[in-house]
Structure 1
Amino acid sequence: MQQTAVVTGAASGLGYELMLLLAKDNYNLVLIDIDEVKLELIQSELKKNHSCNVNIIPVDLSENNSAETVFTAIRNIKIDVLVNCAGFGVYGSFINTNWKQESSMLNLHIITITHLTKLVLQGMIKQNQGKVLNVSSIAAFQPGPMMALYYASKSYLLSFSEAIANELKDTGVSVTVLCPGPTKTCFQEVVSSTSSENKIGFNMACPKAVAAYGYKAMLKGQVVAIPGVLNKILANLPRFLTRNRTTSIVRKIQEKNREKTSNTEVLINEVL
């Protein structure tokens, strides 16, 4: 029997790339995103080129109770893989950023992902098999001035994933958390809208390569997946420097990136 994968944030970025890998491996798909038009186009394209069934659920996962909305739609489907990739971020000083945007981000990164994972895991435990892939970020390993809540929410996702991965040992269910660095997606197009090639090119990764790395890690049951040697070094930076020093370094990087856009506050629609 074909297995079924649920992918959030499937209309673009890493969610899209991970969805393609699952389709190539003949998974039936449930694709979730706020962009209904893109979901419909993807559904049509997949039906032409793959033998998998494709269901779409257009929903804003930053809204309250959205996890319940999704689970109600999939509760009668045997779920073998859950990919939590939907996310966004807000750039700017904490005292100046928009709280409505930030509260939506926190609801998505923390409440919705946690709740949906909890609901889906119940079925995975009963069937003694399943895989969860949560997409966090290299930002999870240190504080991030100028994107304070984004970094903090990604730290939560890393800690949460590692903890439940330990709890689920010997159940047949694995949890993997992917922590990429900067990746060439529409995230970067928003931050540096004046350049199609993007000015923030340092340590920039290909989304296909990042998705493939995370996908392989999920299949192997690896808990933490950090693609790229430099990203592995950056993730371990707090072990060798004081937290104050690490935070200062991140602040300088963020401020340098800030210079590449004229926006006082940047709403990032595709975040890694």
Structure 2
Amino acid sequence: MTRYALITGASSGIGLAMAEALARRGRSLILVARQRDQLESIAIELTQRFDVEVLFRACDLGEPLRLSGFLLELEEGDRQIDLLVNCAGIGTCGPFLAQDWMTEQDLIEVNILALTRLCHAVGNSMALQGGGQILNVASVAAYSPGPWMSTYHASKAYVLHFSEALRVELKQSGVKVSVLCPGPTRTAFFRTAQLNSEKIEKSGSMMSPEEVALHAVRALDKNRAIIIPGRRNRWRAFLPRLGSRWLNRTIVGMVNKTYCPR
């Protein structure tokens, strides 16, 4: 029976790079994102380049009813998923009280609720079939409170802690859980979150999605619990432990404020 890797947020950024990295290895894929046209062209391209089966499903994970429909399709279908990659994510920037609430709610629905629900549904299927692997995408932002990006940082802290806990719980069932914590990555995230990425670009600390995906795939082979691509990003995750929480949130707030629109 063919086994599939299910990737959310697969139309761009790290999700797309993960799809290409896995297709290069001969993996059959199920790609999920909001943009149907983009998914269709990506599926055709990956199929032609790597001679693998690539299925796709346009689904807005921020809408619980659509996610329920998609999960029902998976449950009733006969396709076995042995790798779940939760890449879909949203970011916002600026004072929390000034944010449009529906945008904040969408962030919570996608970054937290949809990810958790997919882990529950697909994780149960994996446990029944005797094993599988889950990769949840968090961020180095998970290691610090983030004034002016408060909801985003909090959502990624949830993903980090949830994934680590799930790894322990599912070990007996043969399901391996890892969490990817990239730093600044050259994706559409900065544009959609309305962040000014010029300073980060000039510092040379941005990684490409392809670099992050390659690091992630290699770390999955080794069943790493926490995957942090790049030495600078590992320092970003480690340094908050050295100072007080007051100092940590103050510094991160000052940095975030410089990237947010005035």
SS at match of 2:81: coil
Is the aligned partner of 1:161 residue 2:163? yes
Structure 2 counterpart of 1:84 = 86
- Output the amino acid matched with 2:149: M
Q: Which residue identity lines up with residue 145 of structure 2 in the other structure?
A: P
* Residues 143, 237 of structure 2: 8 Å contact kept: yes
Following superposition, which runs of at least 4 residues in structure 1 exceed 6 angstroms of deviation?
Answer: none
Partner of 1:137: 139
Alpha-carbon distance between aligned partners in 2 of 1:43 and 1:142, rounded to the nearest angstrom:
37
Cα deviation digits, residues 194-249 of structure 1 (max 9, x gap): x8xx4422321121111111112222211111111221122122221001100111
Say whether residues 1:63 and 2:35 are aligned partners: no
Give the match for residue 224 of structure 2: 222
Q: Which residue of 1 aligns with 2:243?
A: 241
**What residue is the counterpart of 1:124 in the other structure?**
126
Instruction: Work out whether residues 68 and 116 of structure 1, in 8 Å CA contact, stay in contact via their aligned partners in 2.
Output: no
Q: Give how far 1:127 is off.
A: 1.5
User: Does the 8 A contact of 2:60 with 2:67 survive in 1?
Assistant: no
Higher helix share: 2
Does the C-alpha gap of structure 1 residues 115 and 192 become closer, same or farther in structure 2, counting only changes over 3 Å? closer
Task: Specify every segment of 5 or more residues in structure 2 that has no aligned partner in the other structure, as ranges.
Answer: none
Give the letter aligned to residue 217 of structure 1: A
Instruction: String of CA shifts for 1:90-113, please: whole Å, max 9, x gaps.
Output: 111011111100001101111111
Partner residue, 2:25: 25
What is the distance in 2 between the residues matched to 1:66 and 1:92? 29
- In the alignment, what sits opposite 2:74? 74
* Percent sequence identity over aligned pairs: 37
Deviations 1:107-130 (A, max 9, x none): 111111101110001111111120
The alignment partner of 1:90 has SS state of: coil
Query: Residue 33 and residue 94 in structure 1: after superposition, are their counterparts in 2 closer, same or farther (change >3 A)?
Result: same
Q: Deviations over 1:26-63 (max 9, x none)?
A: 11111100011100111111222222211111011111
Give how far 1:142 is off.
0.8
Any residues of structure 2 matched to 1:1-272 within 5 Å, and which?
A: 1-75=1-75, 76=77, 77-190=79-192, 191=194, 198-201=198-201, 202=203, 203-258=205-260, 263=261
Instruction: Give the residue type in structure 2 aligned to 1:18.
Output: M
Aligned to 1:267: none
> Which is worse superposed, 207-216 or 176-185?
207-216
- Give the structure 2 partner of residue 270 of structure 1: none
Instruction: Letter of the 2:144 partner, please give it.
Output: Q
Counterpart residue identity of residue 4, structure 1: Y
Q: Deviations over 1:147-204 (max 9, x none)?
A: 00000000000000000001112322101100000011122345467x8xx4422321
Letter paired with 1:209: E
How far, CA to CA, are the matches of 2:140 and 2:255 in structure 1?
A: 14
| Whole-Å separation in 2 of the counterparts to 1:215 and 1:66 | 29
For the 8 Å contact 2:2–2:80, the answer to whether it is kept is no
In 1, are the aligned partners of 2:60 and 2:66 still within 8 Å (CA)? Answer: yes
- In structure 1, runs of 5+ residues without a counterpart are 265-272
1:269 corresponds in structure 2 to none
Query: Bigger shift: 55-64 or 146-155?
Result: 55-64
- After TM superposition, the score normalised by the length of structure 2 is 0.93
In structure 1, how many angstroms separate the alpha carbons of the residues matched to 2:10 and 2:100? 26
Paired with 1:133 and 1:74, the residues of 2 have a C-alpha distance of 18
Q: How many Å apart are 1:3 and its aligned residue?
A: 2.5
For 2:41, the aligned partner's letter is L
